[in-house]
Every structure is written in structure tokens, then in C-alpha cells.
């Protein structure tokens, strides 16, 4: 089983214009998920089995002051995961996709 965990969290209002942090959120929380899928999916399809688990957040479902970019990236994780789940179901690949909310403490949080 391959597991890839991608998560970055920074809580700042948009007016602070911390574009470097926005880019880091997008790079890790969106591009990281896509790159993880690109790495794992071919092998999972080849072996006709696998389970991709993406970490999301309840912040993807609501608005929080200071959390706009973070919330958007986690909503993207939800959409990417659900789309992949449906695509793999149609393909009959036996690759499972799950989205789980969670908090991960890293040097970036």
C-alpha cells in the first residue's frame, strides 16, 4: 500500500498578501495530491488494487476568517478525490479513494 500525506496550514487574512504562503498551500495541498495520484495510480491500476487516502479538513465546507486559501485547497482535495473515485469506479480498476478530515501537526502549522 502506498500512502502519501500532504498538508500545510496557514491562517492569515487575504489582505496580508502573503503570496509565498498561498503558493506553498497550493503546492502542497493541491499539487501534492495530484502528484501523489500521478505516482501511485499507474501501479495501482496495474495490480488491479489500491487505496488512495487523501487528508482534507472540515474547513473545506465553510468559511473561516483567515482561512480562505487553506479552505480552497482542502475543497480542491475533496473534488479531486471524489472525481478520481468516480473515474476509477467507472473504469472498474478496483482502486479505492477515500477522503478523511484530519489535523496534522508539522513544522509548517
CA neighbor of 87 nearest in space, from 47, 52, 35: 52
How far apart are alpha carbons 63 and 91 in whole angstroms? 35
Joined grid coordinates for residue 97? 479513494
Respond yes or no: is residue 70 known to be catalytic: yes
Q: Which of 44, 55, 70, 95 is catalytic?
A: 70
The residues that are catalytic are 70
Amino acid at each position: 500500500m502506498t500512502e502519501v500525506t500532504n498538508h500545510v496550514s496557514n491562517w492569515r487574512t487575504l489582505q496580508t498578501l502573503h503570496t509565498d504562503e498561498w503558493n506553498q498551500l497550493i503546492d502542497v495541498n493541491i499539487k501534492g495530491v495530484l502528484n501523489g495520484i500521478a505516482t501511485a495510480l499507474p501501479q495501482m491500476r496495474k495490480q488491479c488494487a489500491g487505496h488512495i487516502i487523501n487528508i482534507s479538513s472540515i474547513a473545506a465546507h465553510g468559511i473561516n476568517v483567515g482561512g480562505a486559501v487553506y479552505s480552497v485547497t482542502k475543497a480542491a482535495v475533496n473534488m479531486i478525490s471524489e472525481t478520481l473515485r468516480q473515474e476509477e469506479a467507472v473504469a472498474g480498476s478496483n482502486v479505492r479513494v477515500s477522503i478523511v478530515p484530519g489535523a496534522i501537526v508539522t513544522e509548517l502549522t
